Chains A and B, each alone.
Chain A
């Protein structure tokens, strides 16, 4: 299958600061990619270079089979991180204008604009000026503006930030709809949970360098923590005592739950039985790696200190609460 996006050793510096270093990336056609990393990791700079808004100091870009996004502009939909609308333009006019700039015109356009506005609950706002809309509504209009011309490649920079849970779900639906239609989707986020829910492949950047590029399944296998979450049924039981068991390597407390790590070679499904026999459980659960864990593990490997780790954890966790409420 041909590739929608190919980046070869892309590098960009702003003065002293290296924003992106030696970035390689291949996004096959029809894929749904998550581009993740904390604020300032180089996501937006990479995307801008991908779209020929910025030019790399070195490296090559290939978009939809062209040497530059300049030549494929009409087939790309882009939602920048710093979003804006013409404040005085009416919503319908704005969407029609954006579509026309992308070479999309004709009788069907107005109908499609109205249908899409209806779909995201903005049917009544079609004739309003953009400045009359709330921030969330404006953001939905911007998302529609990026998709209205049915692009082959959809690039969304932090699409979920600033949306409430209901609208986050709505946006997820819109993105999946484009994906099903056959569009290649690449979106960046610093909230790992969004990527986990949506993507089939994850690219992680940190300090301008790519630190991970794998399928979600691959990441789970590779970073399997091989441990169980445990919660005792009786309050007088102390799970710390479980560390005395011969098949247990370690027991760690994490809030109200405990993490029980079996020794190498112990089958996890067997561990379920052993654990419930040793102490009556309220809950036993297979612990799966979250992107957050993976990210922290990778960053810890690159030599970040503990302070930096907790700071990273805070930034990548941003927005998790909202999503949980939605799902």
Chain B
């Protein structure tokens, strides 16, 4: 037992202290997390203050004044407040997504209120000469001078023939004008034109808006546990995330186990090792060591995932039992796949030879990944139920079902665990037999049939 632990500790340390592991497994998620935390803060940095003049050439004489009032600082501030309220409401609607995050996002997307002066030029002004100041440098006080020239079309407000479309307007802007400011100007001009058109038609704006608005519905999911706000994102991505987490950690541990076994074989360390420990002790130690590696990966990504959920204030949606099941299914899935990986690693001479033997195992683990959506659409259907009892696929499918909205019956969960445990036992038995024969074999790469013969030999 002591020797097993020695092998396990070395295996774990040798794996996690490599640069590849630190960068690939530890550094990447930490980088992602820190970006997720830092980026909004960085974007909080408001864009530079914008001050300048908007020139309007309005041959209709109906729009210019309205543009001036719509682009006045107070009007801009009011419109922004309105938008903010609407985004907050939408965020509320999308349920537990954090309000704070949404507010921050809205804030940074809008930028600071620009200080715009509107100059209505004489309708006969030459467009070219009006455009000239757009190229001029900004003065020291931060006023950019002329920012944009808006040229309203003659038929923008009144049509000569009702069957034709209304005219629009042309806009010329200074280079490097913040896109948010440009949007602001467009919105102001648009509002001014619509107002003018509505007024000319003798209608009332408020009436039209009232007629054309339908508020978003309040969608609720009805389950045995009661009603809750529908959260489609969470419904699909929380189970998917759990399965991904399981798959990722199982495959990380399994891959490292395969590689280290092949390395020991091709390095010729194997014979020294089996002179010191029995093949079974060696295999067990290696499997345990990489199990710890997988658990470390699992823990890192789980913490990352939970932090992400907490960030969106959706932590409450998580059932703590899921964490327990995640651990249980990790152990079952890892031990099955890890044992097979150890067997394959012991039987081949290099990674290339391992590929062909790995194919069936990789397909098995990819199956739930490919069937993720159909399983979630019908978590208690025939497909999902059948797959739940095939190790090691069952571990992934069961976790997917447990984290879905329609939890499977308890007996199915327990039966799946029992079936998987039997699978673990069979895989370990097979691996122990193959490992003992395989580690000292060299030459022709074995097929699965050869491995089975080795297993029967012992």
Residues of chain A at interface, number, CB under 8 A:
27
**Is A100 a contact partner of B6 (Cβ separation < 8 A)?**
yes
**Is A238 an interface residue when CB atoms closer than 8 A count as contact?**
no
Instruction: Give Cα A48–Cα B269 distance, bound, in whole angstroms.
Output: 15
Interface residues of A in 66-104 (CB under 8 A from B): 70, 73, 76, 78-80, 82-89, 97-98, 100-103
What residues of chain B lie closer than 8 Å to A80, measured between beta carbons? 268, 271-272, 275
Chain B residues with Cβ below 8 Å from A73 are 275-278
Quick check: B267 and A87 within 8 Å, CB to CB? yes
A113 within 8 A of B: no
With A84-B267, A86-B14, A86-B267 as known contacts, state yes or no: A51 contacts B272, CB within 8 Å. Answer: no
Residues of A contacting B270 in the complex (Cβ-Cβ under 8 angstroms): 84
Minimum CB–CB distance for B272 against chain A, Å: 6
A245 an interface residue at 8 Å Cβ cutoff?
no
Q: Compute how far the CA of A101 lies from the CA of B285 in the bound complex, rounded to whole angstroms.
A: 12
Q: A101 touching B6 by the CB < 8 A rule?
A: yes
Q: Is the CB of B276 within 8 A of A85?
A: no
CB within 8 Å for A54 and B440 given contacts A84-B269, A85-B267: yes
Measured in the bound complex, the distance between the Cα atoms of B277 and A76 in whole Å is 11
Within 8 A of A (CB), among B257-314: 264, 267-278
What B residues does A98 contact at CB under 8 A?
272, 276
Cβ of B204 under 8 Å from chain A: no
Q: Whose C-beta in chain B lies nearest to the C-beta of A99?
A: B276
Contact with A along B1-35 (1 / 0, CB 8 A): 01100110010001000100000000000000000
Chain B count of residues within 8 A CB distance of the other chain: 21
Are the C-beta atoms of B268 and A83 separated by less than 8 Å? yes
Q: Is the CB of B268 within 8 A of A78?
A: no
**Could you tell me if B269 and A78 are in contact, using CB atoms closer than 8 angstroms?**
no
With A97-B6, A97-B10, A100-B6 in contact, do A53 and B271 touch (Cβ < 8 Å)?
yes
- Tell me, in angstroms, the Cα distance from A73 to B276 when the chains sit together: 6
Q: A78 to nearest B CB, angstroms?
A: 4
A101 touching B267 in the complex, CB below 8 Å, given contacts A54-B440, A88-B18: no
| Chain B CB within 8 A of A117 CB | no
Residues of B within 8 A of A53 (CB): 271, 274-275, 440
Inter-chain contact A85/B269, CB cutoff 8 Å? yes
Residue of A at shortest CB range from B10? Answer: A97
CA distance A12 to B7 in the complex (A): 30
Query: Does the CB pair A101–B276 fall under 8 Å?
Result: yes
Bound state CA distance, A222 and B239, in angstroms?
Answer: 82
> Which of chain B's residues have a CB closer than 8 A to the CB of A83?
268, 272
Please give the distance in Å from B129's CB to the nearest CB on chain A. 74
Task: Determine whether the beta carbon of A78 is less than 8 Å from that of B275.
Answer: yes
| With A54-B440, A89-B14: A84-B276 Cβ-Cβ less than 8 Å | no
Contact between B271 and A102, CB atoms less than 8 A apart: no
Task: Check if B271 sits within 8 Å of A82, measured CB to CB.
Answer: yes
With A54-B440, A83-B268, A97-B6 as given contacts, are A88 and B275 in contact (CB-CB < 8 Å)? no
Question: How far, in whole Å, are A80 and B440 apart by their CA atoms in the complex?
Answer: 12
Instruction: State how many angstroms separate the Cβ of B18 from the closest Cβ of chain A.
Output: 7
The smallest beta-carbon distance between B390 and chain A, in angstroms, is 36
Closest B residue to A44 by beta carbon equals B271
Give Cα A73 to B275, complex, Å: 7
CB-contact partner of A145 in B18, B268, B272, B278, under 8 A: B272
Against B, the Cβ 8 Å flags (1 = close, 0 = not) of A122-157 are 000000000000000000001001100000000000
Given contacts A54-B440, A89-B14, contact A82 B268 (CB under 8 A): yes
B283 to chain A, nearest CB (A): 14
Q: Which B residues lie within 8 Å of A89 (CB)?
A: 14
Cα A102 to Cα B3 with chains together (Å): 8
Which interface residue of B6, B272, B273, B275 has the most chain A CB atoms within 10 A? B275
Residues of chain A within 8 A of B2, CB atoms compared: 103
**How close is A214's CB to chain B, nearest CB, in angstroms?**
28
Docked CA distance A199–B51 (Å):
98
Chain B residues in 8 Å Cβ range of A142: 272
CA distance in complex: A146, B277 (Å): 14
Contacts of A84 on B, CB cut-off 8 Å? Answer: 264, 267-272
Q: How far is it, in angstroms, between the C-alpha of A80 and the C-alpha of B264 when the chains are bound?
A: 14
State whether A86 and B6 are in contact (beta carbons under 8 Å apart), knowing that A73-B277, A98-B276 are contacts in the complex.
no
Cross-chain contact A86 with B269 (CB below 8 angstroms): yes
Report whether B272 and A78 are in contact in the complex, using a CB–CB cutoff of 8 Å. Answer: yes
**From A82, A86, A87, A102, contact of B276 by CB (8 A):** A102
Q: Could you name 18 residue pairs across A and B whose Cβ atoms are closer than 8 Å?
A: A54-B440, A70-B278, A73-B275, A73-B277, A78-B275, A80-B271, A80-B272, A84-B267, A84-B272, A86-B14, A86-B267, A89-B14, A97-B6, A97-B10, A101-B3, A101-B7, A101-B276, A145-B272
Query: A78-B275, A86-B264 are known contacts; what are 4 more A-B pairs with Cβ within 8 Å?
Result: A80-B275, A100-B6, A101-B276, A142-B272
| 9 tightest Cβ-Cβ pairs between the two chains A and B | A84-B268, A80-B271, A78-B275, A84-B267, A101-B276, A84-B269, A82-B268, A100-B6, A51-B275
Chain A residues in the interface with B (C-beta under 8 A): 48, 51, 53-54, 70, 73, 76, 78-80, 82-89, 97-98, 100-103, 142, 145-146
